[in-house]
Each structure stands twice: as structure tokens, then as C-alpha cells.
Amino acid sequence: MKVTVIGGGPGGLYFALLAKKAWPRWEVTCYERNRPDDTFGFGVVFSDQTLDTFKAYDPVTYERIRRRFAYWGDVDVVYKGRTLRSGGNGFCGCSRNALLAILQDRCRELGVEIRFQTEVEGIERFADSDLIVVADGINSRIREQHKDHFKPGVDLRPNKFTWLGS
């Protein structure tokens, strides 16, 4: 089975490593337009529930995330000078670069080929692939090219979120 993953962000990399882990004989190649240490966005946060899912599917990745990420159990919401604390909701977070490094390393260990600095304009060149996974982000050109067939939906919300990490 020949698998092509377009997009070397967290979603594409995690899919690639899980596919290769489950089917080691598959040929899995991930294409990313940027360099390995380029990133867009600041931080990544996972809940305890998400961590449990990581642990179930790939304990190695889970352990590396737990070692590199900061962990906290309480969330404080400050509004008009009043602090409301919500406990019992564990979270961990770190820089997006740290997560990408963990996933890239794990992919390489499992035998996923990652091709950085490779621009992919369309899927035509991958006609010999048995499966093509497109994970090229919110501004996906490929999703736009195939919107009439797949009929994707993007629902941008007005919510505001600010990550103030150090």
C-alpha cells in the first residue's frame, strides 16, 4: 500500500505515524512545504482526555509529550477582577515546534519518509498512491480544488483566545 500525506503539521504527521505503526510494510510519505523547524502558531494544548487517546494509540508519542509539555490541573478565568477556578480538568501544553519535533522524530523511527520544502499544488502527481491524505491546513488549496466533490465546510467562529505563554 502506498500512502501519501500532504501536510506535515500535527494532523498529517500523527496520521502518518499511526498508519506506519499499524501497517509497517506500507510505504508512507509525508510532504511538507516548510522546513522541519518552521511553524505557524504559538502553542499547543491537550486535555487529559486527548492525552489518554495518545496513550492508547501510541504510548511512545504519549510519553514524549508528557516529558516535554507543561502540565496543569486548574484553569483560572479572570473576569472583571473576579477569579473563577475550575479544577479537575487536566491540560498540558508546549510550543508547536516541540510537538512537531516529537512527531517528526517518531515518524522517522517508524520509517515514514518526510519530504520537507516540497510544495504540492495538486494531487495529480500522486496518481500511483493507493491513499492520499490531505492535511494542509485551514487554507488548503487542495481542499479548494476538490470542494465540489467533497463538499467541505468551514465554520469560523467569533470566539477570542489568547495564549500568553513564556
Whether residue 110 has pLDDT greater than 80: yes
Give residue 41's pLDDT band: very low, low, confident or very high (50, 70, 90).
confident
Average pLDDT estimate for 62-70: 94
Task: Check residue 10 and give its pLDDT.
Answer: 95
Is the model's pLDDT at 143 over the cut of 80? yes
Using only C-alpha atoms, the chain has a radius of gyration, in whole angstroms, of 18
Residue 159 lies in a domain: no
Confidence grade of residue 138 (pLDDT, cut at 50, 70, 90): confident
One-character DSSP codes across 74-127 = -EEEEETTEEEEE-S--EEEEEHHHHHHHHHHHHHHHT-EEE-S-----SGGGT
89 is a domain residue: yes
**Average pLDDT of the segment spanning 26-34:** 98
Summarize the confidence of residues 118-129 as an average pLDDT.
96
- If pLDDT is split at 50, 70 and 90, which confidence band does 87 have? confident
Contact of 47 with 76, CB cutoff 8 Å: no
CATH number at residue 108: 3.50.50.60
**pLDDT for residue 166 is more than 70:** no
Q: What is the pLDDT of residue 120?
A: 97
Report pLDDT for 38.
87
Q: Is 161 part of any domain?
A: no
State how many domains the chain has: 1
Task: List the grid coordinates of 9.
Answer: 503539521
Say what the pLDDT of residue 163 is. Answer: 64
How sure is the predictor about 89, in pLDDT bands with cuts at 50, 70 and 90? confident
Residue 130 φ/ψ region, left for φ over 0, alpha for ψ in the -120 to 50 degree band, beta for the rest: alpha
36, with CB counted inside 10 A (0-12, 13-18, 19+), is: middle
Say if 51 falls within a structural domain.
yes
* Residues spanned by the domain of 142: 2-150
pLDDT value at 115 more than 60: yes
| pLDDT over 70 (residue 101) | yes
Collapse the DSSP code of 69 into the 3-class scheme (helix H, G, I; strand E, B; otherwise coil) and give the result: coil
Residue 165 forms part of a structural domain: no
Residue 129: CA count within 13 A, CB half-sphere: 16
Which strand (E) or helix (H) includes residue 66?
Answer: helix 59-68
In a domain, 61, yes or no: yes
18 pLDDT tier (thresholds 50, 70, 90):
very high
